[in-house]
Amino acid sequence: MGPGTKPTGKPARKSETIGGLPWVSKAAEPSKRSRKLIGQLLVEAGVITEAHLEEALQAQMERGGKIVETLVGLGALSPEDFVTFLAKQAGVASFNLSNYDCPAGLIKLVPRDLAVEHEIFPIDRMGPLLTVGMVCPLDIQTIHALEEITGLRVKPILCTPRDIRKAIERYYSSVDDSTAPGAARAAAGHDGLEAPIRLSQVVQTLRLLDKLPALPETVERLRAVMSDTEPRIADIALIVGLDPPIAAKVLGLANSAAYGLPNHVDNLKMAITMLGMQETYSLVLSCAVIDTFEKTKHLDYRAFWLDSMCCAAAARMIAQATGNERRFGVSAAGLMHDLGRAALAKVAPQLYGRVDQTLPIRQVLEEEQRVIGLTHAEAGFHLACQWGLPPDIAEPIRFHHTPALAVEARENVAIIALAAAMAHSAETFPAEIEGLEPALDILHLEAANALALWEQFQGVTTGAGSTLSVL
């Protein structure tokens, strides 16, 4: 700079090459601002609020994961807004990685596990400077971790997740047709970023589901007793009796009109005798699962439990009418059919709050898929598998809106599909009967008979409500 020349404050725009291919940086060097944590940058840019960041940091401390994934999972940040934010950051270069041939020695600098987990890929090394492609070039924690591992100073540049995945497959794994040179090239710049970020949103939601509490010891002890060749009612009563909240619910359910018991039941042995050991185990299991969400802030637990009770009552009626009353898990599947709703309300409350629950069920499922990336039925099934629930219960949770897709426990799925429609569509069930043909076919049940059961069910809901007050 010559004498008297005033600095403009704007670094010159540079065009450089890496491996003979062009890339463009918005600044010659990353600004000091990019050294701030990504959450702080998002707040400064007005993309999220301080309250959003505090909530996300708290969730991150409890559950782990990346801050951007956590913000997206909480509904505080959309994939589109994050991509727009990235595109505006000074010092963030973008690079078309799909056309790049990486030197073999460079791959050894970055372990494969680190590359996959953090979506990064080594691009170039010049002395102590390592240029790395990243989905999130402002992830300062990953940059620091990579600098510690390599002993080099890391310069991040923006690459699409699709490009990075293909590069990892090509250089860290065996080469196949889809990743070989000459295959279709991924788009450069920010094209295609939103979909992978939405996918990470789904992954993050599933991770949060994985971190929900395990089932209580009562269930595990009862499961062990039920695995015996000849389980005894006295042993079951002893285990249930040591868990007062569960015992109260078993007695309450045994005395409900939904179970058609003629006399008042005031001790556990009698309740278990009348309900049956398998049915008692099923009920204890479902009560324990649902109680996991009792203190969820964004869930009307009383309404959720009442809806669950109504579905269980309808399921028992349908099972009896179709000769399936001895099938294991019918009542439990009815009680837990909407497990995914409670789970999503707990782990992604703001995000799930965007789904209008007053819409017809098909539209609710479409909205869940659009907003979160998975439906409550899939979320519930994931959690059921995590907790080791048997197929007789897990399959109805997953397929009660799509019974034609079920392969296992098809009768249970069909029963819960009809029961859920009765419980949630008290006024519109007759109009929806045509859409329930797959369930009717599985159960060999005529539509007229299903309508008769629905009319009978109208008197059961009052009983279920009175039982709820006992619980």
Q: Assess if residue 209 is contained within a domain.
A: no
How much is the mean pLDDT over the chain? 76
- pLDDT (average), residues 372-401: 89
**pLDDT given for residue 377 in this prediction:** 93
Q: Does the pLDDT value for residue 273 go beyond 70?
A: yes
Residue 147 sits in the same domain as residue 283: no
Angle in degrees, CA 50, 56, 62, rounded to 5 = 140
Beta strands in 137-186 (DSSP E): 153-158
Alpha-carbon gap, residue 221 to 240, rounded angstroms:
9
Residue 173 sits in the same domain as residue 246: no
pLDDT grade for 83, boundaries at 50, 70 and 90: low
**pLDDT given for residue 198 in this prediction:** 60
**pLDDT given for residue 161 in this prediction:** 72
Closest CA to 345 of 290, 397, 393, 421: 290
284 vs 203 pLDDT, higher one: 284
Domain encompassing residue 45: 15-203
**DSSP alpha helices (H): ranges in 266-375?**
268-275, 277-291, 301-321, 330-336, 339-347, 349-352, 361-371
**pLDDT given for residue 267 in this prediction:** 81
Q: Does the pLDDT value for residue 249 go beyond 70?
A: yes
- pLDDT (average), residues 78-99: 66
Q: Assess if residue 5 is contained within a domain.
A: no
CB 85 within 8 A of CB 100: no
Q: Which of 203, 236, 253 is the last residue of a domain?
A: 203
333 vs 328 pLDDT, higher one: 333
Three-state SS for 23? strand
Residue 160 sits in the same domain as residue 301: no
Q: Which of 175, 203, 231 is the last residue of a domain?
A: 203
Residue 232 sits in the same domain as residue 124: no
Q: What letter represents residue 1's amino acid?
A: M
Tell me the pLDDT tens digit for each residue of 102-148. Answer: 777 788 888 888 888 788 899 888 888 888 888 777 677 788 888 88
80 vs 121 pLDDT, higher one: 121
Q: Helix 217-226 to helix 233-241 angle, to the nearest 10 degrees?
A: 180
- pLDDT (average), residues 47-51: 89
- Least confident span in 72-86, 135-149, 256-270, 432-446: 256-270
Structure-block tokens of residue 247:
């015992």
CA 309 to chain centre: 24
- pLDDT (average), residues 220-233: 85
Alpha-carbon gap, residue 243 to 143, rounded angstroms:
50
- pLDDT (average), residues 168-176: 65
pLDDT grade for 319, boundaries at 50, 70 and 90: very high
Residue 316 sits in the same domain as residue 179: no
Three-state SS for 86? helix
Q: Assess if residue 210 is contained within a domain.
A: no
Q: What's the CATH number where 117 sits?
A: 3.30.300.160
Cβ neighbours of residue 357 closer than 8 Å, sequence gap 6 or more: 364
Residue 399 burial by Cβ neighbours in a 10 Å radius (0-12, 13-18, 19+): buried
- pLDDT (average), residues 340-358: 88
Three-state SS for 468? helix
